[in-house]
Structure 1
């Protein structure tokens, strides 16, 4: 049972952190090189439209499996590294909720209204916040595998 829960946990992490890495480090820089804002902004919005539902699924998997592991298997024997990962995960969820409910929604409205500068400004915020979450996700992955505490 533990291996199934851990597998779901890791799949959620791979989807979320891997997706952020791809979008932040590969897709966006490539889009900037070959597309002008009138083409790039809708591409990035459509990419996020497809990625964000998967992030919601990943969040559910990560939190549900994480609590399952913590409460059902580790209980009071969880190391400090587990509590640090838990805290970082909650911060990451809060950052994602901010992205999703504010700049992402505002970017969609701006694109719908033909306001490319407004959409671009929201994408800058999204990019920065995804960058923060990417660093947090990578740090959590390192903490989870190295158990340094």
Structure 2
């Protein structure tokens, strides 16, 4: 059962952190190079429209499997690194919820209204927070790999 739980946990991490890495480090810079804002902003919105449901699923997998590992398998034996990963993970979820419920929705409304500068400003906010979440996710991966439980 442990192998199933850890596999679900890792799949969630790969989807979320890998998706952030791709979007932040490859998709957006390429889009900036070849597309003007009237084309780039809808591309980014559509990309996030497709990615964010996967992030929600990843969050469920990561938290569900993480708590199953912490409380069902490790119990009192959970080391400090587990608690650190949990804290970082919860901070990442909070940042994602902020992105999803505020600037992402505001960007969509601005695009629908044809207000490209406002949509671009909302995307810039999301980009900064996604960058923070990406760093937090990579740090958490290093903690998990460097201090296996």
TM-score in same-fold range (> 0.5)? yes
In structure 2, how many angstroms separate the alpha carbons of the residues matched to 1:54 and 1:79?
29
SS of the aligned residue for 1:106 comes to helix
SS of the aligned residue for 1:114 comes to coil
In structure 1, how many angstroms separate the alpha carbons of the residues matched to 2:65 and 2:147?
18
In structure 2, the partner of 1:77 is 77
In structure 2, how many angstroms separate the alpha carbons of the residues matched to 1:48 and 1:56?
12
Within 5 Å, which residues of 2 pair with 1:37-56? 37-56=37-56
Which stretches of structure 1, 4 residues or more, deviate above 2 A after TM superposition? none
Q: Which ranges in structure 2 are unaligned for 5 or more consecutive residues? A: none
SS of the aligned residue for 2:67 comes to helix
Q: Does 1:21 align with 2:34?
A: no
Q: Deviations over 1:15-43 (max 9, x none)?
A: 00000000000000000000000000000
Report how many residues are paired. Answer: 148
Q: Which ranges in structure 1 are unaligned for 5 or more consecutive residues? A: none
In structure 2, how many angstroms separate the alpha carbons of the residues matched to 1:72 and 1:82?
13
Q: CA deviation at 1:71?
A: 0.4
Q: CA deviation at 1:147?
A: 1.3
In structure 1, the partner of 2:88 is 88
In structure 1, how many angstroms separate the alpha carbons of the residues matched to 2:76 and 2:105?
41
In structure 2, the partner of 1:111 is 111
Tell me the TM-score normalised to structure 2 length: 0.99
Within 5 Å, which residues of 2 pair with 1:113-128? 113-128=113-128
What RMSD over aligned residues (CA atoms) do the two structures have, in Å? Answer: 0.7
In structure 2, the partner of 1:6 is 6
In structure 1, the partner of 2:57 is 57
